[in-house]
A and B are shown apart, each in its own frame.
Chain A
Amino acid sequence: MRELLRRPLFWSTLALLLLIALNTAVTPSFLSVRLQDGHLYGSLIDILRNGAPVLLVALGMTLVIATRGIDLSVGAVAAIAGAVACVYIAGSDRPAATSTVVSAVALAVGVCILLGLWNGFLVSVFGIQPIIATLVLMTAGRGLAMLITDGQITTVVNPAFKVLGAGFVATLPVAILIALAVFAVTAVLARRTALGMLIESVGINPEASRLAGVRARTITWTVYVFCAFCAGVAGLMIASNTSAADANNAGLWIELDAILAVVIGGTSLAGGKFSLLGTLVGAMFIQTLATTIPTIGIPAEANYLFKAVVVIAVCLLQSPRARAAFRSRRPVSTVKAGAA
């Protein structure tokens, strides 16, 4: 019974370990991590570093999904964040100074918070379905990013900005440290305060929570702002890693990877419960999968196929019908899925 309760995390962790074992079998040096010039190098470190943006976006997405919502605009928000920062740095008087980067990052994060406020406004005040409300920004967002960069791929040369995505602090990549820091803060806020429970209660029934004295609207609004904030930081990492803002391709399909990570992590898309640790495992699983596929000799682009197989498998495992079959009991009367 206890194992049944823990099943989602159990299965995703098992899948991640299996992937790592497969990689180690194909490339024996996979697990080795070496210290070079005071930086840690190795496949595992690469996975962590490249997975940091997905992990960040997935963190925000977890909370949004916990309120029974979804945020499709994160990829566009990430692109906008990169565009704002790069254009600001490129256009400033001292494009190589650290202080320029600080204000650029602040400006980009500020813009993302505004976008989050916008999404949250549409969802919580106007009451538009989340998938549609965020579809608006998903469609228009990349156009906005193009508008900011004037249709160019804006490149910047700034050592301080480079640190964000490709730098190292205390032998570890900065991207990982930032992602883990946000993860830790979120975990503490969600699990050591009542916030997590309030989010879950809104996800189960916003109206009932409101009547019970929970500020449902504020909570819904906040999670969208948080999600956009995470997406913005992820976008800055991506832009910093490539030293460029590519409005068309930065964070392309990251929303789908993030949703995938959340679902693999055992958070139900129907809202009402979430697992941050599961999301962490899910994000790492996706990144490891992306690394594994070229390693075992399949074209890297085919990882969409594998992701599809994973999504279908996870959904079938989560589906009430399949679960009922597991327990060999008749399905309880089913409620029509809310967000569609």
Chain B
Amino acid sequence: MTTSTSVTASPTFLDRVRTYSPPRRYLPVAATVALLIGMFGAGSLRYQGFADPQVVLNLFVDNAFLLVLGVGMTFVILTGGIDLSVGSVVALSTMIAASTLQAGWPAPVTIIAVLVSGTLLGTLMGLVIHYFEVQPFIASLAVMFLARGLCYLISVESIPIREGTFTAFAQGSVPLPGGYHVTPSVVVAVVVFAIGAWVLHMTRFGRTVYAVGGSESSAHLMGLRVAFVKVGVYTISGLCSALAGLLFAAYTLSGYSLHAVGMELDAIAAVVIGGTLLTGGRGLLLGTMFGVLLLGTIQTFISFDGTLSSWWTKISIGTLLLIFVVIQRLLTRRQN
């Protein structure tokens, strides 16, 4: 690449277009975007009303909590870790919210209680992972069991939420120009995403996340705050899970211990499909958003079709996961 600068003839615009290849780190994201556009193209050709902008907005409406989870999961996976507890923490958050509201707590206190408990669980997990060198997989598995068990201790039954603030939030609508609308939870999710993107791509903390994912021992030798960042990403994931739990509680207006079973897999799938390397160190938060949208599009596709059953969702998510894992593998192999 560097030797080509000595070529005297300046390349024409056409040459530049013809020989342009995007930086390799954008390739997986580009593949996801291409797939997303392709699916939307196919969908709008096959089904009437598929290309309606409200359908796109509904992807956000129905997956706001998944986007929030994905933000936290991206941080964790970028450090080379994994967090299996997010689904259970979502369920626990809905349970805490529903039961405290039922007990008559004011909504702000409930919200703070949920956020604090989720964050604490995440921090604890991070501490165990970093200081006791327990594998992230197994430590988050323990927290997954812990959170589910706590759910059942609170109640085995589903608890409805009838509190005013939550119902108002759930039924609220944010009008957009052109007669379209989204729900307030989309606003929350987009704000979380923006903050996440800022922290990850613009701050020292974010750069350290990438450094730890690239090589933990090198990051350590460079004098980076490895311990702080490693515990930090699990704290962020815990906070995001609690927040996603609040959104989910508002979405379903209930707390139930069987909420969000398997949602950790959706979150991981979204991150992977978004092009973040599972070995850590490479990936973009924007990719995760496209990953979430792609998962949402699959569901939309299946609901528009009507003849396909809902289990095709799982099969297609699995297939996509496979395709992207193989792409990742080929990319990293070529690099080595």
Q: Which residue of A lies closest to B323 (CB)?
A: A136
A interface footprint on B301-336 (CB within 8 Å = 1, 0 otherwise): 000000001011111011101100110010001000
Q: Does A321 lie within 8 Å of B133, measured CB to CB?
A: yes
Number of contacting residues on A, CB 8 A? 52
Q: Is B158 an interface residue (CB 8 A)?
A: no
Which residue of B216, B311, B317, B325 is within 8 Å of A128 (Cβ)?
B325
The answer to whether the Cβ of A256 comes within 8 Å of any Cβ in the partner chain is yes
Give the residues in chain B near A334, CB-CB below 8 Å: 133
In the bound complex, residues from chain A placing their C-beta under 8 Å from that of B132 are 315-316, 319, 321-322
Question: Dominant SS at the B interface?
Answer: helix
| B191 sits at the interface (CB 8 A) | no
Asked if A59 lies at the interface with its beta carbon under 8 angstroms from chain B, I say no
Does any Cβ of A come within 8 Å of B272's Cβ? yes
Q: How far is the CA of A151 from the CA of B315 in the complex (A)?
A: 13
Q: Interface-forming stretch among A18-26, A226-234, A300-308?
A: A300-308
Interface centre among B80, B128, B313, B318 (most CB of A within 10 A): B318
Residue numbers in A under 8 Å from B136 (CB-CB): 337, 340
Would you list which residues of chain B between 128 and 179 have a CB under 8 Å from chain A?
A: 128, 131-139, 141-146, 148-150, 152-153, 156
Does A339 sit within 8 A of B, measured CB to CB? yes
**Interface residues in B, total, Cβ within 8 A:** 49
B82, B131, B135, B318: the one contacting A137 at CB < 8 Å is B318
Task: Kindly report which residue of chain A lies nearest to residue B216, judged by CB atoms.
Answer: A336
Q: Return chain B residues, CB-CB under 8 Å to A151.
A: 309, 311
Tell me the minimal C-beta distance from A114 to chain B in angstroms: 16
- Against A, the Cβ 8 Å flags (1 = close, 0 = not) of B79-119 are 01110000000000000000000000000000000000000
Known contacts being A146-B309, A311-B142, A315-B128, is A136 close to B149, with CB within 8 Å? Answer: no
A312 in complex: contacting residue of B128, B135, B322, CB < 8 Å? B128
Quote the shortest CB–CB distance from A325 to chain B (angstroms). 10
- The verdict on A326 contacting chain B, using a C-beta distance below 8 Å, is no
Instruction: Report B138 CB to chain A, min CB distance, Å.
Output: 6
- Is A70 on the interface with B (CB-CB < 8 A)? yes
Say yes or no: B149 contacts A304, CB within 8 Å: yes
Per a CB cutoff under 8 Å, which of A139, A270, A305, A318 touches B153? A305
Cα A137 to Cα B314 with chains together (Å): 10
**Best-buried of B128, B141, B269, B312 by chain A (most CB within 10 Å):** B141
What string of 1s and 0s marks CB contacts (under 8 Å) between A125-140 and chain B? 0111101110111111
Q: Shortest beta-carbon distance, B146 to chain A, in Å?
A: 4
CA–CA, A12 to B319, complex, Å?
A: 39
A261 on the interface (CB 8 Å rule)? Answer: no
- Interface status of A147 (Cβ within 8 A of chain B): yes
Bound complex: CA of A151 vs CA of B309, how far in Å? 8
- If A135-B321, A140-B314, A269-B138 touch, whether A126 touches B150 (CB-CB below 8 Å) is no
Known: A139-B265, A146-B309, A311-B138. Contact between A301 and B257, CB under 8 A? yes
User: Closest 3 A-B residue pairs measured CB to CB?
Assistant: A140-B318, A305-B149, A143-B314
Given contacts A126-B329, A299-B153, A339-B137, 5 further A-B contacts (CB under 8 A): A136-B325, A304-B146, A304-B149, A305-B150, A311-B145
- B residues contacting A by CB (< 8 A) are 80-82, 128, 131-139, 141-146, 148-150, 152-153, 156, 216-217, 257, 265, 268-269, 272, 278-279, 309, 311-315, 317-319, 321-322, 325-326, 329, 333
Q: List 10 A-B contacts (CB under 8 A).
A: A126-B326, A127-B329, A143-B313, A269-B137, A301-B149, A305-B146, A305-B152, A307-B145, A315-B142, A319-B134
